Amino acid sequence: MTTTHGGRRDNTKRRPDDKRGGVRIPRPGKKLGRPRKEPPMNAQIWQHRTSGEWFAVITHEGVVTSAIGPLHHSELEPVTTDDIATNSDQELADALVDDQDSYNWICNVG
3-state secondary structure 63-95: EEEEEEEEECHHHHCCCCHHHHHHCCCHHHHHH
Is the pLDDT score of 2 beyond 70? no
3 inside domain: no
Question: Domain tally for the chain?
Answer: 1
Contact 56, 43 (CB under 8 A): yes
What pLDDT, in 10s, does the model give residues 10-29? Answer: 555 555 555 555 555 555 55
32 inside domain: no
- Which helix (H) or strand (E) segment is 97 a member of? helix 90-98
pLDDT for residue 52:
92
- This prediction has a pTM of 0.61
Q: What end-to-end distance do the CA atoms of the chain give, in Å?
A: 57
25 inside domain: no
What pLDDT, in 10s, does the model give residues 49-84? Answer: 999 999 999 988 888 899 999 998 888 888 888 888
70 inside domain: yes
pLDDT for residue 92:
92
Q: Which domain holds residue 84?
A: 41-108
